[in-house]
Structures are given as structure tokens and as C-alpha cells.
Structure 1
Amino acid sequence: MKPLVLLDTPALYYRAFYSVPDSIVNADGHPVNAVRGVLDTIAQMVRRFDTDRVIATMDADWRPAFRTAIMPEYKAARVKDEEAGTEIPPELAVQLPIMNRVLTAAGIPIAEVAGTEADDVIATMAAQSKTPVIIVSPDRDLLALLDSSAEVSVLRPRKGGEWEALAQTDLPTAYGVPDGARYRELAALRGDPSDGLPGAPGIGEKTAATLLENFGSLESIVKAAKAGVKTGGLSPKRAATIIEVEESLYKTLEVMRCLTDVEHGIDLDRVPNSFDRAGVEAAAEGQNIRRSVDNLTSALESVSGTAGAASAQSAAPGSTATASPPSKSAESAESTVRNGTDGSWAQSRLVGFDLETTGIEPATARIVTAAFVDSADQVRTWLADPGIEIPESARAVHGITTEFAQANGAAATQVISELCAEFAALREEGAVVVGHNVVYDLSVMAAEVARHRPDIDFPSIIPTIVDTFVVDKHIYPYRKGKRTLIETAKTYRVELLDAHDAAADALAALDISRALAEKSTEISAMSNDEIMAAQADWKRSQAAGLQAWLRKKGTAEAVVDGSWPMS
């Protein structure tokens, strides 16, 4: 069974409300930024983890009585409406029913339990789940749920569209504590003024981690302070502070403890609910959220298989591709250009392509995820078990851990076979495959084919390729700044929803290719054969220019490979 994604929905819609521009409004003139942000986040998660098993947890009571009975000041500073006792701004409140209607129609259960917060529902479901759980939340408090006895991870949004994935094994490096229980004690010492949790004055996160490392637990720290211990980071001043706030610390610890036995009424094994396309359309009517709704719909369909593409479910064991790539004896390895195509490449079927891998060296990198994208609602994705450890540097980019890939990915040989089948089918059709710096992706593919399917002649199945990196550099050779996908997307005002997600990157490259075609009628008029030959020339020229520049700057032995479309 696929992993279960638990959304800390209140934290996510607040984050979207304050970070997504509110310039887009619905037919009633109300902003829909929170709705758009949440829907886009869910689509990212569905694609990222190749699962439609998503639950949106909610706060039935954001200041539960059982917590305010322990600490009356809990979240008291957040109350916006004293009479109603709510923290929700009216501009946000009007968006929540819209969001709930879309989620319900899309088959995403909404879970809230009277008298509890979303955290309590999440903790209960995480404890009950028989499959890996990914908690999506910006709230650090949920790191307290990380435990070696359960396969739970927390995915936190960071700046620049990046995500930080944390499992129990990451806590020692990230926070200096061994597990979720100790993290909760660290958080109690550190405090959280926004929640009305005072902590121990003068003791920050690093000091708290040091004390816990040296004494083992909050209880032991308190005992040491009372015993007059002056080692292990426990100075007389700190000891006095801890003794003074002892009662408050234990109350904070109790307030932060999540319930794990709430009656949420959802059968986790039967998630998701049925998808109601007509209901989704009705919920989106007049709300000006069409792009986000289409994005979510395509993501859900791509992993559930309802989009009709066999490869959409390729991360599931046993899935097969429908086209057979030729063997080395079937066609000459010298042919990398599809011949006989009429019209221009820009008038052909354009398909975005991207890989996320284990490293930056094509010869040794292994595929982790892959995507072919026709549009926001036509996406085919793969998740592979690369067969090797995913380095931390790679995981920091795409957020996929070795454990997750091993548990949920298809065998590398199966994924490579299906990707080759897709390439062969696209070549046969005369389609154009688009990518950004696609020489890297195709070089990785070539190495993986040689590794897992040496019987396949990969160069012979490559269709017409458009590399937005090469074409952009040819059109604007002197533009300053980086030419990464993120920066190039900004240049052409292309929306990149989740950088380093294979489907999102492929879609962005696809949109950039259309923008490039509009910029140059000469280039857009080229045939498939002509654009391939031109890019090979441009790449050689660009490489020669960069090599000359590097040598001029003092790197006398610099060599820049001008091979294209593969190195």
C-alpha cells in the first residue's frame, strides 16, 4: 500500500494565506490565495510521493479546553476576535469552505475531532497507520512524533520552494536529540512565545540540546539543578532558572503532548475516497482557482491510473509499459534524429521530461524519479528504488530518502524499461521531448540503460529533443545571471510550483519551450531535424566559448564537453 500523507491543514493554509499573493480573487471579490496554496501543496505531495492517500486534518478547536486548563495562556495572544475566540482573519475564513468542498469532491478526507487540534488527529493516525506516514507541516512541534518504532517522517516547507524532510534518524544532526520524546523536552525548554509557551528564559535551542545530551532528560536536568550540579552546561544561573520555572516546564511538556487515541472515524486502509470530477468542477466554479484545481486533478489521476496512461502507475510493483524499444540489432546506433517529420518542431506534440537522481555525475547517478508531461493535467511519473543509498546532498534537493524509495519505488530495471518504452513510442509518433539541460538527463538515461538493459540501443530511440538551456543561451547569449531552471522560468514568467520535483520541472521546461518559440520565429519554424542539428552546433559553440573564457581566466587545462544531446 502506498504511503499515507497527513496534512497539517491549518498550518498550511495560514502559511499560504500570508505568503501567496492575494491579487487573485473569486467572483465574489474574495481572495483565494490560501485555497490555491493548499491545493498546489497537495498536488506537489501527490507527485512527490506517488500517492493519492492524503488526509487533510483540521483544528476542530485550536485552543482545546484540556490544554487551556493546564495553561490558560496557551495561544491566548493569537485570539483576533475576543467574542468569538477565533484567530482566523475574515479574509481567510471565507476561503475555508471553498477549500473543503474541493478536497471532499477530490476524494481527500477531511479529519477533525471535536475538542482537539489537527496535531492530535495526526498523532492518532500516525500511530494507527500500517504504512509509512509523511506529515506535511511547517510546525516544528510535530517533530515530537518522530519515533524509531514507527515509519514516520515530517516534511517542512522552506524558503525558495524547497522542502526539508526529517525522520527520527535526522534529529541528532538537526537538533542534537535522539528522538521525538527528547525533542518535545527540547521544545519545552526553548519555549514558543507565539503559542504562549514561555520555556526557560535564557536557554535557547542549542543550550537545551546540550543539557539533554549531558543529562538525558528534562527530569534529570531538573534533579541536577536542584542537586547543585555545575557541569554539563548547567551553570548556577541556568540551574536557578530551571528550578524557578520547573512547574511551567512540566506544564508545557504536557500541553505539547499530542493525543494518540482520538475517534476520527476514518478507515485509513480505505483512503482515498472516490473522486467526483463533477463535484470538483462545481466546487471550482466561479472561484478563479482553475489552474490549481487542474493541477491537483492531474496529480491525483496520474498516480491513481485514471488518466489512462499505463506508465502513470509505474512506481507500483508489476506495472508494465505498452511500447517495446528496439534492440541494438534493430536499428543503427548512429541515428538520434527522427527523419521524415513534416512541419516545424513547435507544431509537434511537445512533451516535457525530467529526472531526479542520486548525484550530479551522469555516469554514476541513479534515477530516483522521472516524469513525462504533456500539460498540467497529463502527467506520467515514476518512482524508482535506485539500488544504492541516496546521498544526503541529493535528498536535500528532491526530498526522497533511501528508505522511502526502497519501500515505494519500482525496481530500477523496470523503471528503465518503461522509460525506454516511452521514448520509443514518442519517437515513433514524431513527438518532441523538451527538457532543461537535457544533456544531463539523457546521459543519465544512457548510463542506466547500459547498466540495467544493455540489450536496448538507447541512442536509436531518442526522439527529437529541444533543450531549453541551449536554445535560451543561443537567443540571449549575453544575458547576465544564472541559467538554472528556476532562474530561466523567472525570465520567461513561467510558474515553477515545486523546483526539483520531476513533474514540476518537466512542466516548467515545456512552458519555457513555448515561450522560446514565441521569441524567435526563425527557431520555431525549424523542422525536427533542423532544430536537432542546430542545437548540436549551438552546444559546441557555447562549450568552446566557455572553455576559452575559463582558460583566459587562468584555468589553463579547462575542457568543456560540447557533446549533445548526450555527453
Structure 2
Amino acid sequence: MSTQPRILLLDTASLYYRAFFGIPDTLKAPDGTVVNALRGLLDFVSTLKTAYEPDIIVACWDDAWRPTWRVELMPTYKTHRLADPDGDAEDTPELLSPQVPLIAEALDLVGIPVVGAPDCEADDVIGTIAQLWPGPVDVVTGDRDLFQLVDDARGVRILYTARGVNKLDKVDNDWIKAKYGINGSQYVDFAVMRGDPSDGIPGVAGIGDKTAATLIDSYGDLAGIQAAAADPESPLKPKIRENLLSSADYIAAAVKVVTVRPDACELGDYKAAPLTDEQRAALEKFGEHWGLGGVTGRLIKALG
């Protein structure tokens, strides 16, 4: 077991969207501002800190939800989430937008670093810190693409929120193998072939989860699969062969789009520290102003 500190990386937007859509928007501050996402996100932090006892928590942030370099590689990337087809702003719910800076402010008050990187998504920040951190890493997210980071040898796992923050799936290599029939290290190749409509990644026609897993099992990786497609003597079905060959340009771009960056940011000097009296007082004042009720006390208790 590692003696290095355990770090918990939050895919912050994934969590505050979950809170926003899962908690009634009737929760309001005294001035009428809706605070359901703010309250929910802070309660998630309390739950995660109590359940998983990380030494350090880092809130990873989308400095760019749709990075320029990913769009240049794949123009369809997240286009369905655009507020205006001719713009670049995300179609964020009207009642959520004012809460996002409040979430960042609350996290800062309790000493949880909010870390983004220029023209990068939170996924890239997570991927970089997970690569550089010397101890075990837990990543809290609802994004399956981050399964590519799972590394049992280094203690990197995903706490997957599909069933809710109170019923997290602890995703290690065995979990991925049981779910998809592949290893975590093969997840990018799998995702590229299968595609992901929620991110505007089309995939290879005729290849879903089962076919992608079978191809990886037979040929090892995308390079092996493409070599088989180019070999007329290989046993690939004609239509699968045709679709793979015609998707060569897509595959080359999609691998770069799906792969999270390992160099998005510097590794900060993150250290474990209990809340100070000043931090507790500041959070209590913040909680009173925004009508957070018992959320503030739970967070103070969880963070120590």
C-alpha cells in the first residue's frame, strides 16, 4: 500500500451539472438566487471526503469546454451543446450559470484548489495530475473517457457517478474488463471505434461495443485492427473492413481527440491541511449569505 498522499480529483463541471439537474431549483438564497448546484456540489465534497478519506482534494476545471485544438481535429466535437451554432459558448442552463463562480469561490474558501489549463478541459487537467502524482489517485467523474486513466499498478481508479455520488462504481481494470471485455489501456481505441454521440464523436459505422471489444481481443489495438483491414487475407467481415478503411482519417483524428493530455498544467504544491479558524468563519459567512443551511456545517465537519 502506498505511503504517498491520496489525491481526489473532481471533474467539477460533471458534478455541478449532476447537482443542478438532481436537486430542485426551489432551493434559493435569501436574495432569490437559485443555489441548488452550489449546495449539491458542496454536499458531494462532504460525502466524498468522508467516504474515501483523501489527503488532498483538487477541483479540476474546464478553462475551455470545447478546446480549439480538438475542434480543429474534429469539427463535430460537442457541436450539439453550442448555444449558437455560429458561436463557441456552451448552452448552459440559465439558472446554473450564476452558480458556477459561487462554486469556485466556496472551494477557494476551504482551500480546495480550482485548477484549469489554457484551451483545455478538466479531463486534460485530471489526466496530467493523475500522471504526475506520486501517490494513489481517485477521479470522480461521469465521463467514461476517463476510464483510459485506470492504472491498478499506480493506484489510479475512477469513482464513476452514473448511479449517483452515494452509489459510486469503483472502476479498476477488472471492472472495465467485466463491463467491456477490454483493459483500461485499450479504452481509447475502444471509444474511437464505438464513438460517443454525447461528444459529437461519430465512431466507425457498424462498430458498437461488442464488435469493438472483439476486434481489440483479436488484434490487440487499433494499429493491429487497421493492419488487418488492409490485409485482404485477414478474416474480417467485408463491411467491417470497408468501414475501417474508409474511416482512416477519422480514426487518426479521433485518437487525438479522445486521449486526455498528460501535459496540460504543472503539478501544484498540493498539501493536506485542516481548515483554519479563518476558513471556517469565512465559509460560515458565505453559507449564511447564500442560504446554504446545514451544508456549511457538514462541509466543515468533513474537511476537519
State the TM-score, normalizing by the size of structure 1.
0.50
1:185 corresponds in structure 2 to 189
**CA spacing shift, 1:83–1:165, aligned 2, 3 Å:** same
Matches within 5 A, 1:157-556: 157-159=161-163, 161-180=166-185, 182-229=186-233, 231=235, 234-264=236-266, 266-268=268-270, 270-272=271-273, 275=276, 276-301=279-304
Match of 1:156? 160
1:44 partnered with 2:37: no
CA separation in 2, counterparts of 1:272 and 1:76? 41
Q: 1:78 to 1:124 in 2, by over 3 A?
A: same
| Cα distance in structure 1, aligned partners of 2:280 and 2:152 | 40
Q: Secondary structure at the match of 2:289?
A: coil
Name the residue aligned to 1:31.
Answer: 34
Greater relative CO (CA pairs within 8 A, separation 6+): 2
TM-score (norm 2): 0.91
Is 1:95 aligned with 2:95? no
AA in 1 matched with 2:261: L
2:87 counterpart of 1:86: no
Q: SS at 2:154's partner residue?
A: coil
1:136 to 117, 135, 140: 140
The Cα shift of 1:13 comes to: 1.0
1:59 to 54, 62, 84: 62
Cα distance in 2 for residues equivalent to 1:122 and 1:62: 14
Output the CA distance in 1 between the equivalents of 2:88 and 2:32.
24
Whether the 8 Å CA contact 1:185–1:217 is kept in 2: the answer is yes
The answer to whether the 8 A contact 1:74-1:197 is kept is yes
The alignment partner of 1:56 has SS state of strand
Cα distance in 1 between the residues matched to 2:126 and 2:262: 8
Q: 1:195 to 1:62 in 2, by over 3 A?
A: same
- Matched with 1:550 is none
Q: CA deviation at 1:168?
A: 2.6
CA contact (8 A) 1:77 1:196 kept: yes
Preserved contact between residue 275 and residue 300 of structure 2 (Cα < 8 Å): no
User: Cα deviation per residue 1:90-119 (whole Å; 9 max; x = unaligned)?
Assistant: 211101121112111111111111211101
Opposite residue 287 of structure 2, the aligned amino acid is: A
* CA distance in 2: counterparts of 1:259 and 1:221, whole angstroms: 24
1:147 CA drift (Å): 2.6
For 1:147, the equivalent position in structure 2 comes to: 151
| Deviation per residue, 1:234-284 (Å, 9 max, x gap) | 32111111111121122111111111122346213x245854112212222
Judged with a 3 Å threshold, the aligned counterparts in structure 2 of structure 1 residues 52 and 279 are, in CA distance, closer, same or farther, namely: farther
Unmatched runs of 5 consecutive residues or more in structure 2: none
Q: Is the 8 A contact 1:108 1:273 kept in 2?
A: no
Letter in 2 for 1:59: D
How far, CA to CA, are the matches of 2:87 and 2:95 in structure 1? Answer: 18
Q: Which runs of 5+ in 1 are unaligned?
A: 302-567
CA RMSD of aligned residues (A): 1.9
Q: Report the CA distance between 1:202 and its aligned residue.
A: 2.0
Q: What amino acid does structure 1 have at the position aligned with 2:109?
A: A
Quote the residue 2:109 is aligned against. Answer: 105
Paired residue secondary structure (1:187): helix
CA distance in 2, matches of 1:286, 1:59: 27
AA matched with 1:295 = R
Letter in 1 for 2:15: L
How far residue 72 of structure 1 moved from its aligned partner, in angstroms, is 1.8
AA matched with 2:98: V
Question: How far 1:230 moved relative to its partner?
Answer: 5.5
Secondary structure, aligned partner of 1:202: coil
Aligned to 1:70: 73
Distance 1:6 1:291 in 2: 24
1:120 Cα deviation after fit: 0.9
**Corresponding residue pairs, total:** 297
- Aligned partner of 2:294: which letter? R
Residue aligned with 1:6, SS: strand
Measure the CA separation in 1 of the matches of 2:87 and 2:250. 28
